[in-house]
Structure 1
Amino acid sequence: MPAPPAWQKVPPDQVRRFADLAMEQVPDIARDILRAMRQEFPNLQLTTDALGEPKALLAIRLALENFVGQLTTDIEQPRELPEVFREFGRNQALAGRRLDSLQAIYRLNVRLAWRSLAEIGQKVEIPPPAMYELAESAFEYLDELVSHSLHGYAEVAAGQAGERIRRRRLLVDLLLTEHRADPPATLAAVAERAAAVDWPLPDEVAVAVLLRPDRQLLTPALGDEVLLDLDGEPPRLVLPDPEAPGRVERLHRAMGGWSGAIGPSVPVTQAATSLHWATAAARMIQEGLLPHGGLLSCSEHAEALVLLPAGKLIDDLARRRLDRLTEVGPEQARRLAETLLARLETQGGAPEVAARLGVHPQTVRNRLRQIKELWGDDLDDPDRRFELELILRTRRLRGELTDPNA
């Protein structure tokens, strides 16, 4: 830090008197600053050296000596000074102090230091313009020291953030592991790991599986209550207390462009069950069997999740139960299948079926007569009716039959 221009106009012997007097008072100034720091910040944790002296006292003294020394000669900053201030920043981060608290400590230091230097300037009659410039230099010097401490603070903060992310990921892994025995022990293990990351243990959770987007998206701003693991394959999140008012709605708003599926609400020790359904739904979204976009709710697509994966079994059953439709053409077969499904769902007569399909009742009567001829007594057998409804609902989910609700 070269001397400010106005100082270059101050007679050298006057600058020397200022510097000598300041250097002489540096130990007292440093102790006064440390005392004020402890009074202003009673919970301040200070490390000590081998002799038991606070390292902060050494840092303050070094900083003052370096600042004053540069007024009389172009000296290099003491090699240990940056590391001393980096260590101070690290220690404050480890003690859990906020960044604004660290900056407040420095503001107090420079204010007290400047008060002492201003008194010395008056004693040796340093001109006011030179003292004003010296004040500006003092604050620039402070910024340089703060940058060293911020670097140390950031090192620790980054490490703590990484450790926190690691612990939260371990919690997610434990939650999503299938636990088959000893529920009390499982709950205790989950509770212990949740406490390690300050995650309040909920009664129920819902697990979502996310689909990686084709383009880069911002990380969803979900807050600490939602456990998010974007490094997993696939990415997953755990939503606590999903039945709480507005909880799922807030999750949807926070997802941005991310899509995927969220499983049903389950007790916290059964999160693997919710993960199972969310995984199945996400896979079906990728296969085009379920709609893509946003966060799909498994509970709203339970029919598809149950029936579509059983496609081969349903097809085998269909070959035996719908074989009679081969007696009519493809288009008539489709119309009869839709009419039969509407009849099974409504359990009504021609007017109710016609209303559901949006066709004339007489048309429905004709179709129902033909259906009766094809299936006969099977329509009176509850097991056969159930099988027919399963087959026809599956075909509607596949898009092979028209959905009257669409």
Structure 2
Amino acid sequence: MPRATPRRTAGHGLTLSPEAVADMRSRLPAVAEATVAAIIEEVPSYEGALSGPMGENIRNAVQLALGGFLSLASGRRGSDPRTPAAPAVEGAYQLGRGEARSGRTTEALLAAYRIGARVSWREMSTAAVANGVQPETLVDFAELVFAYIDELSAASVAGHTDELATTGRVRQRLLERVAHHLLNDSATETVVDAAERADWVPPTTLTAVLLPESQVRSVLASLSPATLRAGDLPGLEELALLLVPDAHGRARGVLLRTLRGRGGIAGPPRPWLEVRASYDRALRAHALGLPDDTEAHLPRLVLGADPAALADLRAQVLAPLEGLRPGTAEKLADTLRSWLLHQGRREEVAEELFVHAQTVRYRMGQLRDLYGDRLDDPDTVLQLVLVLGADRVSRPAAGQG
């Protein structure tokens, strides 16, 4: 319904004679025809649009509007003094909604109203003069005509605005439904049907992006309009989830530059139906406090996939160091890590740890006493690399001599 606003036509003092009103009413079909013809000629958006049913609707709308005006000018009132021509105002509101659905702008709609006002005034003022309306009354008549047209055009703009808002909300809900199905492993047929209902063309890939709610508006301005936004993320009330289309290859660099400094994290690009995998990785990265790009933190993500299992493995493979003083145990663990990663090249180990090569030799002697032949066992070496490598990834700065 059109918004209730004060109306300039309410309480007007003009009353035309019954004869003048009757004559003007008889001219309404011709006025409507002339109005439609002028709109077609002067407003490009309506060229070809007012033939057939659409043209008939506009003619009927013009006649309804002018009929309401004549009721107003003859002194007849509706029950509500704020809306003396309520049917015409409601018709104008619905006209605005229809024009929004047709894809025409409010500029085109207001241009049509201006032309309608001009044509209507020309025809009706001619009838008024022919029926003996005096010049001073004609001035009041003109003021009422244009005030009335203003009311109708305002109602149409309100209808146009409301239709766009309603359409936007409905489509947003449909797009959120697509995201919901993608993230909840719905059947392919269900996801595809949801995409069709939302008029959303599936991309080649989707990339999940987590970022603070406060950053969403500015980030969305730089992303594809086809980006999906998912809502209601359990446990992530202060974060938003975006599913960004085709942010793979070179386009990933653009996405990462957009996210830089905004506290977001981008998962890997995945085929659009498999975007849940991208979301899961972004979630794990967020839980670990990793910034920007999950693909820059793959070792941390792999080694942190099961923290409890990693802790148990650590306890097993570092058990030989348990009886040592903490400082000694830490130095030996750092040395063993470097030794394994540098494949036993003593000079490189010494350089990394900032110690003498003889110190490395001494520490490795201690470690062989503790581990025995296990340091030559591939399975033990693998376990040590995993545990000590996880320490290196989470604590890049190695312990120093």
**Bucket of the pairwise TM-score, normalised by the shorter protein:** 0.7 to 0.9
Query: 2: distance between equivalents of 1:339 and 1:402?
Result: 13
Q: 2:293 aligns with which of 293, 297, 319?
A: 297
- Call closer, same or farther: CA 1:134–1:340 in 2, change over 3 Å: farther
Residue matched to 1:246: 251
Structure 1 residues 332, 134: CA separation in 2 closer, same or farther (over 3 Å shift)? farther
Aligned pairs for 1:1-16 within 5 A: 1=8
Cα deviation for residue 227 of structure 1 reads 0.9
Q: Which residue is 2:81 aligned to?
A: none
The answer to whether 1:103 aligns with 2:104 is no
Q: Find the aligned partners of 2:156 and 2:89 in 1 and give their Cα distance.
A: 8
1:202 aligns with 2:208: no
**Worse-superposed segment, 92-101 or 122-131:** 122-131
The residue aligned with 1:82 is 89
Confirm or deny: 8 A CA contact 2:224 2:245 kept in the other structure.
no
Cross-structure match for 2:5: none
Distance 1:270 1:305 in 2: 19
Whole-Å separation in 2 of the counterparts to 1:273 and 1:92: 43
User: Deviation digits for residues 301-351 of structure 1, max 9, x if unmatched?
Assistant: 222222224222222222232122234321122122122212222225222
| 2: CA distance, partners of 1:2 / 1:262 | 58
Match of 2:37 in 1: 35
User: How far apart, in 1, do the equivalents of 2:225 and 2:309 lie?
Assistant: 44
Is the 1:89–1:151 contact (alpha carbons within 8 Å) kept by the matching residues of 2?
Answer: yes
Cα contact 1:220–1:256 (8 A) shared by 2: no
2:195 partner letter = A
1:6-405 aligned at under 5 Å gives the runs 25-38=27-40, 41=46, 42-44=48-50, 54-67=56-69, 77-116=84-123, 138-178=145-185, 186=188, 190-210=191-211, 218=217, 220-221=219-220, 222-233=223-234, 234=236, 235-247=240-252, 249-250=254-255, 253=258, 257=262, 259-282=263-286, 284=287, 289-291=288-290, 296-399=292-395, 402-403=397-398
Task: Return the offset for 1:43.
Answer: 2.2
Distance, in Å, in 2 between the alignment partners of 1:355 and 1:129 is: 103
Displacement of 1:149: 1.6
Q: Give the unaligned 5+ runs of structure 2.
A: 1-7, 79-83
TM-score between both structures, scaled by the size of structure 1: 0.75
In structure 1, what is the Cα distance between the partners aligned to 2:147 and 2:252? 48
The structural deviation recorded for 1:79 is: 2.7
Shift of 1:276: 2.4
Question: Match of 1:201, as an amino acid?
Answer: P
Equivalent residues of 1:229, 1:236 under 8 A apart: yes
CA distance in 2, matches of 1:192, 1:3: 51
Q: CA deviation at 1:274?
A: 2.0
Q: CA deviation at 1:19?
A: 7.0
Q: C-alpha separation between the residues in 1 aligned to 2:327 and 2:70?
A: 97
Structure 1 residue runs of 5 or longer lacking an equivalent are 180-184
- For residues 57 and 255 of structure 1, the distance between their equivalents in structure 2, rounded to whole angstroms, comes to 56
CA distance in 1, matches of 2:143, 2:355: 87
Deviation at 1:373, TM superposition (A): 3.4
Offset, 1:228: 0.9
Q: CA contact under 8 A between 2:92 and 2:152: conserved in structure 1?
A: yes
Identify the range of structure 1 (15-24 vs 309-318) with the bigger mean alpha-carbon deviation: 15-24
Structure 2 CA distance for aligned equivalents of residues 109 and 312 of structure 1: 76
Question: What is the CA–CA distance in structure 2 between the aligned matches of 1:270 and 1:307, rounded to whole Å?
Answer: 23
User: Could you report, residue by residue, the CA deviation over 1:185-208 in whole angstroms, capped at 9, with x for unpaired residues?
Assistant: 83x654444343333322222223
Tell whether the 8 Å contact from 2:205 to 2:271 is kept in structure 1 after alignment.
yes
Cα distance change on mapping 1:102 and 1:178 into 2, 3 Å: same
The separation in 1 between residues aligned to 2:51 and 2:336, in whole angstroms, is: 79
Q: Could you tell me whether the CA contact under 8 Å between 1:338 and 1:402 is conserved in 2?
A: no
Tell me: CA distance 1:377–1:115, structure 2 relative to 1, closer, same or farther (3 Å): farther
Q: Scaled by the length of structure 2, what TM-score is found?
A: 0.75
1:33, CA displacement in angstroms?
0.8
Quote the residue 1:182 is aligned against.
Answer: none
Q: Does the 8 Å CA contact 2:260/2:292 hold for their aligned counterparts?
A: no
SS in 1 for 2:206: strand
Measured in 1, the distance between the counterparts of 2:260 and 2:70 equals: 55
> How far apart in 1 are the matches of 2:162 and 2:94?
10
Instruction: State the one-letter code of the partner of 1:208.
Output: V
Considering only aligned residues, what root-mean-square deviation do their CA atoms show, in Å?
4.1
Q: 1:360 to 1:121 in 2, by over 3 A?
A: farther
Q: Aligned residues, how many?
A: 376
Q: Residue 3 of structure 1 contacts residue 70 of structure 1 at CA under 8 Å; is this kept in 2?
A: no
Q: Secondary structure at the match of 1:54?
A: helix
Q: What percent identity do the matched residue pairs reach?
A: 28
One-letter amino acid matched to 1:246: A
Distance verdict in 2 for CA 1:394–1:72, change over 3 Å? same
Give 3-state SS (helix, strand or coil) of 2:304's partner: helix
